Structure 1
């Protein structure tokens, strides 16, 4: 019975979340069209709305840890579900994302992505995608701010190993900017797919920055190490049993 009630609450939350996306998007659209400040205001409003309603509708609280990145920097984050996108975009002052090319044509999301300078890339065309990504990131006519990239390239479910892709390293080398890594446990409560949301505390943790200038191979090893270490810690804190822990226990 308890599970059924939580599912109903999740379904209602899911409906209102996607109902409010075009509502907030349309209300802010005139300001956003003429000013990136309006676009950022709309994004912050929507992301904070979802965080607030998740707390009282499904019992899913959200928490940001660590110093929030500001200025012209790169953010490399673990990506487990839509929630980590919302949480990061709710607090960084001028977010823009490396995003899937198809999202350019998504209602509301495509418009706001363009207004804040998100960089669409096509999967499966590695060299072309990286070249375009760097060119777009260097453009002087797009809003500056915090460029957010998911170094694994896609959402990765808790406990699943997935390689870190070289795109983050290429951006790090070419942009010559500091990188703020971020770990998360949001996938424990808000899965990649489906409607059901679990109560608990979802966390995004901003970690110490990695300074510019490292060799790409050294940077990639370091960013993977600190993101995975933080995410594993947060998932254990949330009560999630990692497969690596079970294997270690079995071996003993």
Structure 2
């Protein structure tokens, strides 16, 4: 019961913190992309720091954090893994659904940071537009983050990997860094309860450019799923959880 109360308090305070931090940084963020990134990193840091002392959840990033221009193909289980990846990377550029642009506070900041919004059902066209913008210098260099399954996937559930990651990998001709996580065990997609423990995002060995689409997809899915399952088991997850 105590953990339920702590979870509820945690959710309320991080929800309130978002507009408070957003408004506090707004004068700087309106005129500076650096200000927008600083605001969002401050919020991410607050979410992780307050999770540790309020609900007993520690956030840990493992592996070598990419700092150059790479494609990051990540496992997505929870809003928490977004927070952890964004906080860890110098200049994360998330591929996200366009509807987020109209979300209060979040939408304004994602526009300022030039996140890559795509229309569901029109992803191929949106990716082509994104690549053209990168080549034209309209989007500053950074680490492009794509969730290969296209949505949050609960621990233990398997859904197919989508071809968007492979399309970016082929067209960008950049190294791809896979990322695994167990965050969904502690911060589920639905519900209020937040588990104590250690949530992990792990950057895995890079996949060099030049592989065929089939080879790339097979290797990506294999390493991300295997390592995410291992992280879940490390956290104490069982199939019935």
Q: TM-score range by the shorter chain?
A: over 0.9
Aligned to 2:119: 122
- Cα distance in structure 1, aligned partners of 2:124 and 2:204: 29
Deviations 1:183-230 (A, max 9, x none): 000111110112110111100001111111211111111111111111
CA contact (8 A) 1:138 1:175 kept: no
Structure 1 residue 127 displacement after superposition: 3.8
Is the partner of 1:34 in helix, strand or coil?
A: coil
For normalisation by structure 1, the TM-score amounts to 0.91
CA contact (8 A) 1:47 1:90 kept: yes
Is the partner of 1:98 in helix, strand or coil?
A: strand
- Cα distance in structure 1, aligned partners of 2:232 and 2:39: 30
* Gap regions ≥5 residues in structure 1: 244-252
How many residues get paired? 240
- Cα distance in structure 1, aligned partners of 2:203 and 2:239: 21
Structure 1 residue 5 displacement after superposition: 1.5
1:106 and 2:126 equivalent? no
Deviations 1:135-162 (A, max 9, x none): 4554511222111100000000000001
- Cα distance in structure 2, aligned partners of 1:28 and 1:12: 24
Aligned to 2:89: 92
- Cα distance in structure 1, aligned partners of 2:210 and 2:24: 43
Stretches of 4+ moved more than 3 A in 1?
125-139
Structure 1 residue 125 displacement after superposition: 3.3
Aligned to 1:231: 228
Q: What does residue range 193-212 of structure 1 map to in structure 2 within 5 Å?
A: 193-212=190-209
Aligned to 1:16: 13
For normalisation by structure 2, the TM-score amounts to 0.95
Structure 1 residue 105 displacement after superposition: 0.5
- Cα distance in structure 1, aligned partners of 2:100 and 2:81: 17
Aligned to 1:149: 146
Aligned to 2:175: 178
- Cα distance in structure 2, aligned partners of 1:68 and 1:188: 23
Q: Residue 42 of structure 1: which of 33, 39, 43 is its match? A: 39
Deviations 1:104-152 (A, max 9, x none): 1111111111111111112233543443444455451122211110000
Aligned to 2:214: 217
Q: Residue 55 of structure 1: which of 38, 52, 55 is its match? A: 52
- Cα distance in structure 2, aligned partners of 1:222 and 1:37: 35
Q: Residue 169 of structure 1: which of 166, 169, 178 is its match? A: 166
RMSD between aligned residues: 1.5
CA contact (8 A) 1:40 1:93 kept: no
